[in-house]
Copies of this chain bind each other. A is one copy, B any other.
């Protein structure tokens, strides 16, 4: 008789956004006349840039002709894309990363869920709290954690690093030994960023202890403040302790197109084994590459026209962020994030839980956000709004919230 993976039974409820979807569905069914504005899930709303669309049409054309048709892609991604990534996201920033240290994939969600596979099950993970749920859940499913403890709202054998206003949403380096440390900056969900000096401390710590940092840089395109690192490889020594995840979803609007990449420097070794070789093996055995046409779309993001359009796209969303930030501040809310990140993190009014505020906002303003407690116990009392809506909807949402 087959036994199922019993680790799945440790998982709590369904995925956060499924629950939100259900609540919103019930509300709209009950109030079909009301227009609901969704600033919950971090999905983009602007169409793909012209340079990307042109590249897609061209690549589709190639796939229809015998001479230019392409079958299986190279395991780790086409060179044209890996070269463009290397040149623009690393060398231009003074980071010594080479194209063959870049693994192209179908997105940072897959990579952030799958990367734990190359590590032993007896490692201890450390995560920020609040946190993007995939880091924790993928480790729970693999069996790298204990059971969920309802009293503390946490899984046993996971090191949670509280992030709140008391520490500007930058965690303290944990005292307990953490083998795999997940960091995400600009942060989802808090919208906080980390300075280079502070990040350097984590790199030094990881190198001293033999830990590995999984650095999720999915939102780096939203950084405008000078001096804030776009990549962990801007820190000295990061190549011997850090893996970096990137996404095309949030800078170029690829949430529905699916493209991302992971960087594993060749000198990153543990137990005398190259993590690069393990991930290459994982990719080669269990994955067959991102679609050729989508990799061409990714390449177009780095063209002069593409870059210009991406900047406009990011500006568009950051104008939303500024409007939300300003409006809520004036209305007396305590808000953070939203300057170098597309997320605004606000304190819910005293006496309310995050889910209370979710219901309150949906009922009274018809606005959907994300309850902070969905991201972890220390997210309780907070609420996330995203800047990814249309500008018109964002303005209307803020007006509705502030006049509640």
Interface on A for B, CB 8 Å cutoff? 1-6, 8-9, 11, 14-15, 18, 41, 43-48, 50, 53, 56-57, 60-61, 63-66, 69-73, 106-107, 109-110, 113-114, 117-123, 133-134, 137-138, 141, 143, 179-180, 209-212, 253, 255-258, 270-271, 273, 275, 278, 281-282, 284-294, 390
Question: Which single member of B113, B180, B285, B290 contacts A287 (CB below 8 Å)?
Answer: B113
Known contacts A53-B60, A119-B2, A270-B1: does B69 contact A47 (CB below 8 Å)? Answer: yes
Chain B, residue nearest A210 (CB): B1
Instruction: Pick from A4, A117, A179 the residue with the most CB of B within 10 Å.
Output: A4
A9 to B117 CA separation, bound complex (whole angstroms): 13
A134–B134 alpha-carbon span in the complex (Å)? 25
Q: A110 and B287: CB pair below 8 A?
A: yes
* CA distance in complex: A275, B4 (Å): 8
Return A25 CB to nearest CB of chain B, in Å: 13
Copies of this chain = 2
Are B282 and A141 within 8 A (Cβ)?
Answer: yes
Across the interface, A281 reaches (CB within 8 A) one of B11, B61, B72, namely B11
Are A281's CB and B60's CB within 8 A?
A: no
Is the Cβ of A281 less than 8 Å from the Cβ of B8?
Answer: yes
Q: 29 A-B Cβ contacts within 8 A?
A: A1-B270, A2-B179, A2-B212, A3-B179, A3-B271, A4-B275, A6-B120, A15-B285, A41-B72, A45-B66, A45-B69, A46-B69, A53-B63, A56-B63, A57-B57, A71-B253, A106-B106, A109-B286, A109-B287, A109-B288, A110-B288, A113-B286, A133-B285, A137-B285, A141-B286, A256-B289, A256-B291, A258-B290, A293-B293
Give the CA-CA distance A134 to B282 in the complex, in Å.
11
Q: Which residues of B contact A43 (CB under 8 A)?
A: 71-72
7 closest Cβ pairs, A-B complex? A113-B286, A1-B210, A3-B120, A43-B71, A53-B64, A71-B255, A47-B69
Chain B residues with CB under 8 A of A292:
256-257
Does B137 lie within 8 Å of A180, measured CB to CB? no
- The interface residues of chain B lying within 8 Å CB-to-CB of A273 are 4, 8-9
A159 to B275, CA, bound (A): 30
The distance in angstroms between the C-alpha atoms of A210 and B3, with both chains bound, is: 9
Q: A8-B118, A141-B117 are in contact. Are A210 and B72 (CB under 8 A)?
A: no
Please give, as numbers and ranges, the residues of chain B lying within 8 Å of A122 by CB-CB distance: 3
Assembly CA distance A256 to B137 (angstroms): 31
* A258–B110 CB distance below 8 A: no
| Beyond A11-B281, A106-B258, A121-B143, 20 additional pairs, beta carbon < 8 A | A1-B210, A1-B270, A2-B120, A3-B179, A4-B120, A5-B118, A18-B284, A46-B66, A47-B69, A48-B69, A107-B288, A113-B287, A117-B141, A134-B285, A134-B286, A138-B286, A141-B282, A141-B285, A256-B291, A257-B292
Complex alpha-carbon distance, A114 and B113, angstroms: 12
Q: Please determine whether B3 and A284 come into contact, CB atoms closer than 8 angstroms.
A: no
